[in-house]
Amino acid sequence: MTETPEPAKPSFRSDVTVELVKHSAGDADVLFAARVSTAGEQSLEEVTKDPERSKGLINFLMRDRHGSPFEHNSMTFFISAPIFVFREFMRHRVGWSYNEESGRYRQLEPVFYVPDESRKLVQQGRPGKYEFVEGTQAQHELTGRVMEDSYRQAYEAYQEMLAAGVAREVARSVLPVGLYSSMYATCNARSLMHFLGLRTQHEMATVPSFPQREIEMVGQRMEEHWARLMPLTHEAFNKNGRVAP
């Protein structure tokens, strides 16, 4: 006799996953694209001739905001994060491509976001001029307990509807935005720089940004991968105030 599998039980995370799954990206991509305007087909031969001159050219392009040479590259990331992070991600449309897992075609796994104690909980100030400060131990305990209870109840309702034959695309409506989803996101260096300028806080940024912490966590991990692939471009980005060209 076949045993009925145990219903999946909710699990809880406070982190995000960002993996660089493939890329065609390097500082040389910027150099040959920029030099074609003066060197034509010989621009490929110029890439390795003078490293300092190449560094200066990338900085010039960044400083004077000649942006198109930074588009001739590609990076694809696999990202796992709460759904509310992806809803913010979709605000970035130029230079990005997305494919996310579907709750219409597969049963969604019960993995949910609960912030850890490093997450500032209390918002102070008015919109446009507010800050987040540390929460009390009681606030953190309340947040964790209430969120976990809510997630369990929502997933039980989801499973009940699925067991009764309700379509996945209907049953998923009861699930909260704290549910983890996964997607592939593909971008180029120029579109990533624009994302980082808005979604991360940094001491070298000349334009202030006020990102939600969870999408900033994703941005920081993407930036780590990109910095290794294109160190001269990343250096110029920081040097020139972290403003996308």
pLDDT for position 54: 84
| pLDDT value of position 2 | 42
Per-residue pLDDT of the chain (245 residues; tens, 9 = 90+): 444 456 788 999 999 999 999 999 999 999 989 887 655 444 445 555 666 788 899 999 999 999 999 999 999 999 999 999 999 999 999 999 999 999 999 999 999 999 999 999 998 888 777 889 999 999 999 999 999 999 999 999 999 999 999 999 999 999 999 999 999 999 999 999 999 999 999 999 999 898 999 999 999 999 999 999 999 999 999 999 999 99
- Active site residue ranges: 199
Residues 168, 107 contacting (CB under 8 angstroms): yes
Q: Are 10 and 111 in contact (CB under 8 A)?
A: yes
Of the candidates 242, 227, 198, the one whose C-alpha atom is nearest the C-alpha of residue 23 is: 227
* Size of the chain, expressed as the number of residues it contains: 245
- Per-residue 3-state assignment (H helix, E strand, C coil) for the chain: CCCCCCCCCCEEECCCEEEEEEEECCHHHHHHHHHHHHHHHHHHHHCCCCHHHHHHHHHHHHHCCCCHHHHCCEEEEEEEEEHHHHHHHCCCCCCEEEEECCCCCCCCCCEEECCCCCCCCEEEEECCEEEEECCCHHHHHHHHHHHHHHHHHHHHHHHHHHHCCCCHHHHHHHCCCCEEEEEEEEECHHHHHHHHHHHCCCCCCCCCCCCCHHHHHHHHHHHHHHHHHCHHHHHHHHHCCCCCC
Do residues 229 and 76 touch, judged by C-beta distance below 8 A?
no
Dig out the tokens for 61 from the structure: 């392009």
